[in-house]
Amino acid sequence: MSQRSSNWNTGTFLNQNPQLSISQIDPQQLYPAPKPQMVRSNGWEPTLTSNNNNKTNPSPDSNSRFSFSKLCAKLTSTKMLFFMVGFILCAVPLAVMTTLWLNARSSSTATTTVASVTGNSIILASVHDKITDLTISLNLLRSLFYIFLVSNTSVSLPIQCYAYSTLSDYSRNYQNGYSCCYTPYDIISYMSAGWFRITSSAGTQLVTTAISTIGACGSSYPGYFNGTLPTTAGSMTTGNVCFYTGVSCGYSLSPISVINCNGYYVFYLIPTSSTSYRYCTTN
């Protein structure tokens, strides 16, 4: 058995254990157990080497040099996870605020901005709401335009709405309070049977309520329309005119027709038999 340069030898071991023989000795007992090595748990500290010079006097180049490979070696999976979580927490609010800012600048138009952050699309609920509001607004405008077209569609009015004479003297307006007797008279020498529109100071139409006094409308016996005015554009109604002579409807003329000309009326009037009778008008 060869001699080993060690702190342990057979002679020393036998002297300490005289009852043992060489055959009973385990060879592994002649060698000391390996000392446990210290392992540094801090991954950010530089690795220890067996060179004492490197421990006491590190190279200036190794401390000043910062390479990407050393950075990757120091980034453990846990640190990378914290880095990604911090990035997401900062990037998501920034993206949302940017989207809201762009949306506020383009509020007059329907803007659909799609933002994508770390592979996950932002829910475009606000864009959907704006599209819905725009659709409702368009439908409302369409309805209003349709109503405008219907209300402004030219109604086929009869020719009498464009071919008429006028009564415009202020003395025949019942509200002006004129008594007898003013011209023009309503006899045949002043007027012929035909269609008349009441305008200007005379008002807009014949009086439609019964008059129970004489000496009104610039005449002795004022007359009023005993009938109903048409309410639909282009339609016509027919009645008669009663003159108050001290007696209700002591004198009358018929037929007296009225046409609704979509904003004004025209009346078919007949000349009276005397200057004492006159058509009474109002506003």
In-domain check, residue 272: yes
* Residue 29 in this model has a pLDDT that exceeds 80: no
Same domain, 227 and 143: no
Least confident stretch, 49-58, 167-176, 255-264: 49-58
* Residue 73 scores a pLDDT above 90: no
Among the candidates 151, 173, 202, a domain finishes at 151
Same domain, 95 and 179: no
In a domain, 63, yes or no: no
Mean per-residue pLDDT, 41-57:
47
Point out which residues pair with 252 in neighbouring strands: 242
- The b/e string for 14-38 (b: 16+ C-beta within 10 A; e otherwise) is eeeeeeeeeeeeeeeeeeeeeeeee
Q: Could you give the number of structural domains in the chain?
A: 2
Residue at 10 is within a domain: no
132 and 232 share one domain:
no
**Residues 122 and 174 occupy one common structural domain:** no
Q: What is the extent of the structural domain holding 174?
A: 162-282
Question: What Å distances lie between residue 149 and 210, 246, 264, CA to CA?
Answer: 40, 51, 21
Asked whether residue 77 is domain-assigned, the answer is: no
Q: Is 57 a domain residue?
A: no
Which residue, of 125, 151, 177, is where some domain finishes?
Answer: 151
Q: Which of 48-52, 167-171, 265-269 has the lowest mean pLDDT?
A: 48-52
| Predicted confidence (pLDDT) per residue in 247-271, tens digit | 999 999 999 999 999 999 999 999 9
Do 244 and 136 share a domain, yes or no? Answer: no
The pLDDT score that the predictor gives to residue 162 is 95
Q: Which residues contact 18 (CB under 8 A, 6 or more apart)?
A: none
Q: How confident is the model at residue 24 (pLDDT cuts 50, 70, 90)?
A: low
**Residue 5: per-residue pLDDT:** 44
* pLDDT in the model for residue 123: 57
Do 143 and 167 share a domain, yes or no?
A: no
Contact 176, 254 (CB under 8 A): no
- Do residue 187 and residue 123 come from a single domain? no
In a domain, 113, yes or no: yes
Does the residue 247 lie in any domain? yes
- 274 and 166 in a single domain? The answer is yes
Q: 55 falls in which pLDDT band (50, 70, 90)?
A: very low
Residue 63, burial from CB neighbour count under 10 angstroms (0-12, 13-18, 19+):
exposed
Is there a single domain that holds both residue 270 and residue 191?
yes
Q: What is the pLDDT of residue 45?
A: 47
Percent above pLDDT 90 for the chain? 43
Residue 198, helix vs strand vs coil: strand
What pLDDT, in 10s, does the model give residues 176-201? Answer: 999 888 999 999 999 999 999 999 99
Q: Do 203 and 243 fall within a single domain? A: yes
Q: Are residues 249 and 271 in the same domain?
A: yes
pLDDT given at position 225: 97
* 188 found inside a domain: yes
Same domain for 170 and 146, yes or no, is no
**Residue 267 near residue 246, CB atoms below 8 Å:** no
Average pLDDT of the chain, as a whole number: 75
pLDDT per position as a tens digit, 128-162: 666 777 767 667 766 666 566 555 556 789 999 99
pLDDT digit string (tens) for 200-239?
999 999 999 999 999 999 999 999 999 999 999 999 999 9
